[in-house]
Amino acid sequence: MLLARSRDNTAPEERIKALFDWLGPDGIPSCVQIVPGDLNCSGFGLSSTDYHKLASRVDEIIHCASDTSFSERKRAQIEKANVANLHHLLDFAAKSRCCFFHFISTAYAAGKRRGICPEALVDTRSFFNVYEETKHRAEMTAAKRCGREGIRLNIYRPSIVYGNSRTGKTLRFNAMYYPVKILVFLKNLYHQKHREHTRESDEQMGISFSADGTAHMPIRIEAAPSGGINLIPVDFFTAAFSAIMETALDGGVFHITNDTIKSVSDIIHYTQKYFHITGIQAVQTQNFPPGPQSRLEILFSRYTEVYRQYMQDERIFDNTSAAAILNPKGISCPDFDYRIFSRCMQYAEAVNWGNPS
Amino acid sequence: MTPLDHIPEDIRRTAAQCRHYAMCKIDYLETGLCPPAKKTPYVGYFPQGRMDLCDALAKDLIPVTEAAVDIISSCTLCGSCDRQCHFVTGMRPMKVMQALKAFLDAFQEKGEKPAVILEDEPLKALKNIVGEKWATNDPAHLIAYANDPFPLADRQMPGYVVLPGSADELVEIVKYADRSEIPIVVRGNGGSVFGFVFTRGIIIDVNRMKKIQLDPDNWSAVIEPGVTSFELQKAAAEHGYRVNTAEPAATVCGNIVCTGLFSTWANVYGVGADHIVDMTFVDKHGTVFSINDKNAPNVFGFKEAVLPSPGICTGARVRMHPVTDDEQGILVPFTTLADAVCFAKDISRRRIGLAVGILGGHYLSTFISPTLALAEQTRDVFSGILEMTCVVSVIGDKYTRRSIRQMVPCVIDSSTLKMFMLGLPQLVRSDLADIVQGLESDGPAYETVLSEEMLPVLEKILSPSPETIAAAVDEDLRDFYEALYSRPHMTDMVWLAMFRIVSARMSRHKHMFAFLIYVPLEPVDVIQELITSFGQIAEKHGIEHDLGFITPLDLGKRGILEYDYYIDHTDSKESEKIRLAVADIEPMVDKLSSTCKGVKFLKYIFSQGCARKENFLYT
Ligand SMILES: Cc1cc2nc3c(=O)[nH]c(=O)nc-3n(C[C@H](O)[C@H](O)[C@H](O)COP(=O)(O)OP(=O)(O)OC[C@H]3O[C@@H](n4cnc5c(N)ncnc54)[C@H](O)[C@@H]3O)c2cc1C
Ligand code: SF4
């Protein structure tokens, strides 16, 4: 059963159908039943009869709904989605015959730290953003409540998820995609106007083009000496999730992460190669020149500020428990290499970065 | 085929949709006025009157009369009305004018003769006063004085329309009407659209009385009652002055008497008596008095009641204000109305800025967009994506702008606004929205988009030019719009705030039914409560609604708030909704007014517009 709400005047059934249609030609599998309900409301906005009927049919719950915004300004909305709404679901779980709760969290619930992050609930008060904080609180809440109600709990902690490594398909173009998207947006904008010979000089922005259309975009991006971006493709995530769900029957915490961390310079290299851009370079924090940056650099860093932390992340996610399950099954996370990057970007361009216009 | 078949359904609909805001009575786009109307300023000759004539003929409300033939024949199909009307309403009245011609041709081809309307005694008497040409009882003229989009009153045909050429003639008409016990109503340009200017008796149309005499030494202008805000502002501006005016097509005298004349300039220039040096009235018995006369009726006092006006204003000396050559506009965006009110109050109290107004999302986007579709898309971008729920618009000198920049994290200055105005079609088309939506910054999105580094990129995206903006309108209007937007004043906030030629765009999609309330700006809860109540009542009755604007007054102690309901005035079901809504609104505002200092319904100020503002703001 799939609990879904209506949104923007689209009924839950329609939304889920659109999702399955997007996934593949088979549509909604016959075993899936869509239950209209809204986690925003206690009782999911269902009548008491429907609510109890639903509760009587539930054995396990997978909770994957969350608000992935980072912005402090949206704290109330994020807290509501990630913490308050979890309470509604846990209330339901307590009233149902549910015996296993699967909670999809994030590796970054570990909060602000360097070095090893264990696959365990860790008490921490310091976070890079409200998303991390609320996911941490949600883990604690789920653990406490499930413990009290005798419900087993698995916490799955993916790192940064990108599209399908085999097809490049994705629904959202945030996280890893966003800084690349900004660069491509600027390149295309200036390239198009460059061709149109508009009066405005591109020099002001520092962007120039060579005869073959390669864009020179001098941007220095601050990068940590060690660390980088922990990226996993969605197909690995789903395979890992299913395997852990089937195997870890006593409950536990699992990092679904990549053993190979991508450095910022690797991603820059891929981006430049794929999109025919030059001039972007990763500069280590200690070598990052103080003083005024160029317009282009300020602009880029303004737009990607929120991702900066993840571009120079020094957290290392211990995944011993997950690996113990995944390795024997031959499930491993692919390296985010240029081949996969290109596939993802090809898809992004084909669907205009998810923007139908 | 009957003559009526030449008025097809879509033409009838356009004709019935005329908003009656009288914008075709001023030459605000320098297209020239409708040529026949310029010569003979009966409303019937203006495009507005022609729309009414078409509507009336289509509905068989009046016969084809001699005046109807004359009005229709006089149209030169010059196309000015198409441009003027499109600019504010998006409508294309030319097809109505063409249909009228086709109708008349068919009528004449059938050998039909126009009805001759006989003169009666009152008409003869009126003609005696004003001359043969300036009084009429022909229904083709009367129909243009019989209705406006006010949903709570029915059409009312006057007996006569008369256009006096001087104050003396006007006084004679009043005396005659008094003697003959015929009701009279004076009409400026009917732009009050509140059912005020209708009678079964005589309508006095003051449109021949348009003299303006500037008196810079006394910082004032002497005007006749037919002078519109646009005309007076133009004359004052040519001499380096400014008058406080509101709707450009409103007559200044009528506006002062009717509403006390409020605008965003009221922040510094005030309302009501603040505008006036002197005014001359003729009362209903024909007695003339000047309000500065110690023995004159007291027009400066205020009584919280619906009262008649002191009489007909036959002329006024109104205040002119100095301008400095460093004035420019600036917009300060906000995500919440409460913050915007607080800021507007603050700058008003600190005497920062001249014209100050908080504009809701609809006003801002519709004012700067030449089409309805673009306005709607712009609003989606401004409010939905840039998170600019409202803006505080300020006109001020360089010191004002410097202070404001120090007070807030980001502004839209005049050159950025110009960029938006000339590049809007690109804004809504670009991928900018997509990029901005991915922003996770801790400030509102507009702060990032309007950041200094982003402005050159914005310019790239928008490609602002008269050509870009003209691409948004119908193809056959593009050359005209391109030439129009090549004129600097079309994107100059100061000019636009002074001449207000875009404000009627608020009703482009539907006629607005405006509620105006004087309010305290502090605590902001009062404003919030009013807005919530207006919203709830509108929702209850299924009426489209929105906040209009709020302007601070008297150093931010008070303000005036406009909340608008939008209706299709040709739909009787919508009128009924308004009727029911008003029955909820009046007690709501009255109750708030009785419990909360500073809340006053404009309804009680109508016709007491000469009152001292202190008499209604602080009582
Ligand atoms: C889109 C729009 C926006 C508006 N915004 C504002 C605004 O911001 N501020 C504002 O103040 N108003 C505003 N109004 C209202 C309108 O401008 C005023 O009601 C103004 O009075 C209309 O002027 P008019 O000459 O057309 O008056 P009319 O509609 O002709 O007359 C209005 C009233 O004044 C009386 N009157 C007219 N002339 C005289 C005279 N010479 N002596 C005595 N009484 C007279 C009439 O009998 C009638 O009762 C707006 C109207 C519209 C349509
Ligand atoms: S087309 Fe006719 S109605 Fe329109 S402005 Fe010209 S003369 Fe007047």
Q: Which of A276, A270, A268 is nearest to A191 (CA)?
A: A276
Q: Pick from A198, A305, A357: which is nearest to B441 by CB?
A: A305
Q: Is residue B193 part of a domain?
A: yes
The nearest alpha carbon in chain A to B458 belongs to A189
Q: Which of B205, B234, B249 is the last residue of a domain?
A: B205
pLDDT in tens, B39-52: 999 999 999 999 99
Residues A73 and A202 in one domain: no
Q: Is residue A169 part of a domain?
A: no
Q: Which of A72, A78, A184, A185 to mutate to test the interface with B (most CBs of B within 10 A)?
A: A185
What span, in angstroms and rounded, lies between the C-alpha atoms of B605 and B587? 17
Residues B12 and B159 in one domain: no
Q: Is residue A30 part of a domain?
A: yes
CA B202 → CA B23, B157, B163, distances in Å?
24, 10, 10
Q: Would you mind telling me the total number of residues written for chain A in this entry?
A: 357
Q: Pick from A72, A189, A303: which is nearest to B448 by CB?
A: A303
Residues B90 and B127 in one domain: no
Residues A294 and A342 in one domain: yes
Assigned token pair, B353: 């800025």
Minimal Cα–Cα distance from A194 to chain B, Å? 10
Q: How confident is the model at residue B524 (pLDDT cuts 50, 70, 90)?
A: very high
Range of the domain at A42: 2-161+230-256
Give residue B246 CA to ligand 1 midpoint distance, Å.
9
Q: Does A173 touch chain B (CB under 8 A)?
A: yes
pLDDT at residue B111 above 90?
Answer: yes
Q: Is residue A167 part of a domain?
A: no
Q: Do A200 and B459 touch (CB under 8 A)?
A: yes
What span, in angstroms and rounded, lies between the C-alpha atoms of B383 and B375? 12
What CATH number is attached to the domain comprising A48?
Answer: 3.40.50.720
Report how many domains make up chain A.
2
| Atom number of ligand 2 nearest to Cα B84 | 5
Residues A28 and A144 in one domain: yes
Helices (H), A3-129: 12-23, 48-55, 75-79, 85-95
Minimal Cα–Cα distance from B485 to chain A, Å? 19
- Residues in A touching B334 (Cβ below 8 Å): none
Q: How many CA atoms within 13 Å lie on the side-chain side of B315?
A: 24
Q: Which residues contact B366 (CB under 8 A, 6 or more apart)?
A: B372, B375, B379, B505, B506, B508
What span, in angstroms and rounded, lies between the C-alpha atoms of B188 and B248? 12
Residues B169 and B96 in one domain: no
Alpha-carbon torsion, ordered A245, A248, A253, A254, to 10 deg: -60
First to last CA, chain B: 64
Verify whether ligand 1 is closer than 6 Å to residue B261 (CB atom): yes
Verify whether ligand 2 is closer than 6 Å to residue B212 (CB atom): no
What span, in angstroms and rounded, lies between the C-alpha atoms of A39 and A54? 14
Residues A65 and A213 in one domain: no
Q: Is residue A320 part of a domain?
A: no
Residues B103 and B127 in one domain: no
Assigned token pair, A112: 């602000």
Minimal Cα–Cα distance from A154 to chain B, Å? 29
357 residues of chain A, pLDDT tens digit each: 999 999 988 999 999 999 999 988 888 999 999 999 999 998 999 999 999 999 999 999 999 999 998 888 899 999 999 999 999 999 999 999 999 999 999 999 999 988 899 999 988 999 999 999 999 999 999 999 999 999 999 999 999 999 999 999 999 998 889 999 999 999 998 887 655 555 455 677 889 999 999 999 999 988 877 778 999 999 999 999 999 999 999 999 999 999 999 999 999 999 999 999 999 999 887 777 777 688 899 888 888 888 888 887 889 999 999 999 999 999 999 999 999 999 999 999 999 998 876
What is the rounded average pLDDT for all residues in chain B? 96
Q: Does A198 touch chain B (CB under 8 A)?
A: yes
Strand partners, B516: B562
Residues A65 and A208 in one domain: no
What is chain A's alpha carbon radius of gyration, rounded to the nearest angstrom?
A: 22
E strand or H helix that includes residue B596: none
DSSP string spanning A229-242? B-EEEHHHHHHHHH
Q: Pick from A71, A200, A306: which is nearest to B460 by CB?
A: A200
What span, in angstroms and rounded, lies between the C-alpha atoms of B187 and B163? 10
Q: Does A354 touch chain B (CB under 8 A)?
A: yes
Minimal Cα–Cα distance from A60 to chain B, Å? 34
Minimal Cα–Cα distance from B416 to chain A, Å? 15
What CATH number is attached to the domain comprising B135?
Answer: 3.30.43.10
Q: Is residue A8 part of a domain?
A: yes
Secondary structure letter of residue A30 according to DSSP: T
pLDDT at residue B73 above 80?
Answer: yes
- CA A233 to chain CA centroid, Å, is 10
Q: Do B431 and A353 touch (CB under 8 A)?
A: yes
E strand or H helix that includes residue B404: helix B398-407
Residues A34 and A58 in one domain: yes
Residues B352 and B496 in one domain: yes
What span, in angstroms and rounded, lies between the C-alpha atoms of B262 and B264? 7
Q: Which of A318, A323, A324, A325 is nearest to A110 (CA)?
A: A318
Q: Do B454 and A299 touch (CB under 8 A)?
A: yes
Verify whether ligand 1 is closer than 6 Å to residue B103 (CB atom): no
Residues A267 and A120 in one domain: no
Q: Do B448 and A178 touch (CB under 8 A)?
A: no
- Residues in A touching B438 (Cβ below 8 Å): 173-174, 178, 181
Residue with tokens 């991390």: A132
pLDDT of residue A199: 45
Residues B498 and B369 in one domain: yes
Residues B93 and B138 in one domain: no
Q: Is residue B303 part of a domain?
A: no
Across the range B262-287, mean pLDDT stands at 97
Interface of B with A (CB under 8 A): 429, 431, 433-435, 438-444, 448, 451, 453-454, 456-457, 459-461, 463
Residues B344 and B486 in one domain: yes
pLDDT of residue A104: 98
pLDDT in tens, B149-195: 998 888 999 999 999 999 999 999 999 999 999 999 999 999 999 99
Residues A123 and A148 in one domain: yes
| Atom number of ligand 1 nearest to Cα B191 | 26
Minimal Cα–Cα distance from B410 to chain A, Å? 15
Q: Is residue B12 part of a domain?
A: yes
Q: Which residues contact B579 (CB under 8 A, 6 or more apart)?
A: B151, B152
pLDDT of residue B370: 97
Verify whether ligand 2 is closer than 6 Å to residue B225 (CB atom): no
Minimal Cα–Cα distance from B551 to chain A, Å? 28
Residues A42 and A138 in one domain: yes
Q: Is residue B271 part of a domain?
A: no
Q: Do A181 and B435 touch (CB under 8 A)?
A: yes
Q: Is residue A168 part of a domain?
A: no
Q: Would you mind telling me the total number of residues written for chain B in this entry?
A: 619
Residues B102 and B144 in one domain: no
Give residue B364 CA to ligand 1 midpoint distance, Å.
23
What span, in angstroms and rounded, lies between the C-alpha atoms of B526 and B528? 5
Q: Do A306 and B440 touch (CB under 8 A)?
A: yes
Q: Which of B69, B17, B21 is nearest to B43 (CA)?
A: B21
Residues B460 and B373 in one domain: yes
Q: Is residue B549 part of a domain?
A: no
Q: Which of B505, B524, B553 is the last residue of a domain?
A: B505
The nearest alpha carbon in chain B to A304 belongs to B439
- Residues in B touching A218 (Cβ below 8 Å): none
DSSP string spanning B345-389? HHHHHTT--SSEEEEEHHHHHHHH-SSHHHHHHHHIIIIIIS---
- Residues in A touching B462 (Cβ below 8 Å): none
Residues B75 and B49 in one domain: yes
Q: CA A236, A239, A243 angle in degrees (round to 5)?
A: 135
Q: Does A73 touch chain B (CB under 8 A)?
A: yes
Assigned token pair, A42: 């206690």
Q: Is residue B577 part of a domain?
A: no
Verify whether ligand 2 is closer than 6 Å to residue B100 (CB atom): no
pLDDT of residue A196: 59
Across the range B108-113, mean pLDDT stands at 95
Verify whether ligand 1 is closer than 6 Å to residue B282 (CB atom): no
pLDDT at residue B475 above 80?
Answer: yes
Q: How many CA atoms within 13 Å lie on the side-chain side of B48?
A: 26
Q: Is residue B63 part of a domain?
A: yes
What span, in angstroms and rounded, lies between the C-alpha atoms of A310 and A232? 13
Q: Is residue A273 part of a domain?
A: yes
Verify whether ligand 2 is closer than 6 Å to residue B32 (CB atom): no
Q: Is residue A222 part of a domain?
A: yes
What is chain B's alpha carbon radius of gyration, rounded to the nearest angstrom?
A: 24
Q: How many CA atoms within 13 Å lie on the side-chain side of A326?
A: 22
Across the range B508-519, mean pLDDT stands at 96
Q: Is residue B239 part of a domain?
A: no
Percent of chain B at pLDDT > 70 equals: 100
Residues A145 and A183 in one domain: no
pLDDT at residue B581 above 60?
Answer: yes
Q: Does A72 touch chain B (CB under 8 A)?
A: yes
Residues B24 and B51 in one domain: yes
Residues A69 and A93 in one domain: yes
Q: How confident is the model at residue B197 (pLDDT cuts 50, 70, 90)?
A: very high
- Residues in B touching A205 (Cβ below 8 Å): 456-457, 460
For residue B65, give the amino acid letter: T
What span, in angstroms and rounded, lies between the C-alpha atoms of A319 and A259? 9
Q: Which of A60, B434, B333 is nearest to B344 (CA)?
A: B333
Range of the domain at B132: 121-205
What CATH number is attached to the domain comprising B71?
Answer: 1.10.1060
Ligand having the closest approach to the CA of B367: 1
- Residues in A touching B463 (Cβ below 8 Å): 193, 198
Ligand having the closest approach to the CA of B91: 2
Q: Does A298 touch chain B (CB under 8 A)?
A: yes
Report how many domains make up chain B.
3
For CA atoms B357, B360, B362, B365, give the dihedral sign: positive
The nearest alpha carbon in chain B to A190 belongs to B460
Residues A199 and A120 in one domain: no
Query: Which one is predicted more confidently, B386 or B440?
Result: B386
Secondary structure letter of residue A50 according to DSSP: H
pLDDT in tens, B7-53: 999 999 999 999 999 999 999 999 999 999 999 999 999 999 999 99
The nearest alpha carbon in chain B to A173 belongs to B438
Q: Which of B467, B490, B505 is the last residue of a domain?
A: B505
| Strand, helix or coil for residue B514 | strand
pLDDT in tens, A296-352: 998 888 888 888 888 878 899 999 999 999 999 999 999 999 999 999 999 999 999
